[in-house]
Amino acid sequence: MIRSLERARHLARRAAPWAGRRSEEGTGPQVERQAERRAARVLRYLAVAASVGLYIGFGFAFRPDPNTYVLLGIPITLLFQVLVARRPLRELWLEPGRPLRLDRVAARWLPLFLVGPALVLWRAAQSGRTPVLVYAVLAVGGAFCAAMTFRVLRARELREPGLLLALTVPIGLLRLVLQQTVAGAGSPRRSSSSR
């Protein structure tokens, strides 16, 4: 790490004339701060690459089913937010300074966000598939976070996600209905005379 900082400082000194920041000796506090910022940026990119590589490596090493693989990403994301980004978890949903709380406005958004997770939870409970059940329970928690996030968004910030929701929710519900219809049509039916 020390070598990378020294290398970044050296490169910053060489680039200083091109940046229009010449100093008498080619060094100075401003150049050193730039070098430290560049070194910190490189380290952040390396941490991001390592996190993604770790996630992909788990997938190749253990060959989990898709639901388990998605679940593996949750602790990796949480650990990255806390250990690498050094930011509070609530900033995964909101920028700093905005409160995250459940009130009447958030409660109005909540049913919209609970539709999908509730359907998945119901189906997972019926099928008994543990990874899907865990995923659905976590998605219900995510629905609460999404509702609390939408509570603090301003009208101009709601346009893009509102359009996205207006398009994706009906498509997702249509997909679920079609999937249930096809699954129901493929199952053998007993006639009343066969009893």
Domain spans in the chain, listed from the N-terminal domain onward: 1-11+30-87, 90-180
- What's the pLDDT score for residue 22? 47
Nearest-Å Rg of the Cα atoms of the chain is: 25
Nearest to 109 by CA among 163, 51, 152, 52: 152
Which DSSP category does 194 fall into?
A: G
Q: One digit per residue, pLDDT tens: the chain, 195 residues?
A: 555 556 655 555 665 544 444 444 455 778 888 888 888 888 888 888 888 898 899 899 999 988 888 888 888 888 888 888 888 887 776 777 777 778 888 888 899 899 989 998 999 899 888 888 998 999 998 898 888 888 777 777 778 777 887 888 888 888 888 888 887 766 555 555 544
179-188 burial code (b ≥16 CB/10 A, e <16): eeeeeeeeee
Query: What is the DSSP track for 154-178?
Result: -HHHHHHHHHHHHHHHHHHHHHHHH
Q: How many CA within 13 A on the CB side of residue 34?
A: 16
Query: What is the DSSP track for 77-93?
Result: HHHIIIIIS---GGGGT
Any idea which residue has 């060489």 for tokens?
14
- What's the pLDDT score for residue 190? 52
Cβ contact 163:138 at 8 Å: no
CA distance 76 to 176: 29
Max intra-chain CA distance, the chain: 100
Q: In a 3-state reduction of DSSP, which class is residue 136?
A: helix
**Which tokens go with 72?**
């593996």
